[in-house]
Amino acid sequence: MSKMPALFIGHGSPMNTLEQNSYTEAWRAFGRHLPRPRALLVVSAHWYFGATAITAMPQPRTIHDFYGFPQALFDFQYPAPGDTDLAREITEQLKPQWVGLDRDQWGIDHGAWSVLAHLYPEADIPVLQLSINALRPLEYHLALAASLAPLRDQGVMIVASGNVVHNLSALRRRGPAQAYDWAERFDDAVADQVTQAPGDLLRMVSHPDYDLAVPTPDHFIPLLYLAGLAAAENRPLEPLVRGHAMGSISMSCFGLGADMALRRVPDCAAKLAEGVPPDQMNI
């Protein structure tokens, strides 16, 4: 079995679940043209709490962890199965690091299903979520990601869902979607870092725009998982989509082992690293 690609998806607003725009079209292209995985292990910015855990229920529930959105979003369901055996296998693989088996608390949150609704709309691939341990330092997540690398040889696609830049207090809800200067600078600096030396991604913590771009770490940490996987293989990440929404949200997506498969497909290549016009974003 060939090594399964891994993805970081800049997921943006939950409304992307229902929208058709340049970003969601790119995500659908990823799902159509990348190898079909045995299972999906998702690291979502929205399961951020004080432990490392993995979902281990046969049928994870769809979690609507937001408010103030249209009823259609609350009605949305992503009925993918879980995989309890694989969850146990992963906890064994990660020893001596303790990882709890969550059999009844979490499920699939909107950071996961807003993306998976486009990647795999049939919801017929088992989905597991790995929590982000909010009590651990950033270095912990890079190291844990490296321990997950063997899963890619076992047909598991690792999908990290977050945003390089995520500052809700600075959203520009009206007018053009172009990014603030500081958001563009930080997004560009991160792209340069992960496409050259992803293992050194934590250098970005000292970037002058870090505090504005990353006021809380929850949406940035998922990128550490893809960077850790890349560092474990001594490979750079591949820029797949670049763009911004509402001034202070980066929609950038990166891949590991995905670029060549996607660029072999003409209708997909047009959606990749050349960028997505910001004014095509509709959230």
Using one digit for the tens of pLDDT, what is the confidence trace for 5-50?
Answer: 999 999 988 888 888 888 999 999 999 999 999 999 999 999 999 9
Q: What's the confidence (pLDDT) of residue 102?
A: 97
Q: What's the confidence (pLDDT) of residue 279?
A: 34
Q: What's the confidence (pLDDT) of residue 53?
A: 98
244: helix, strand or coil: strand
Q: Is 153 exposed, middle or buried (0-12, 13-18, 19+ CB in 10 A)?
A: exposed
Those residues of the chain that have pLDDT short of 50 are 270, 273-283
Which residues does residue 68 pair with via DSSP β-bridges, in sequence order? none
pLDDT tens figures, 194-203? 999 999 999 9
Domains of the chain: 6-280 (3.40.830.10)
Contacts of 132 (CB under 8 A, 6+ apart): 43, 44, 45, 47, 48, 49, 141, 218, 221, 222
Cα–Cα distance, 60 to 79 (Å, whole number): 8
CB of 7 closer than 8 Å to CB of 255: yes
223: helix, strand or coil: helix
Q: Which residue has the tokens 């937001």?
A: 66
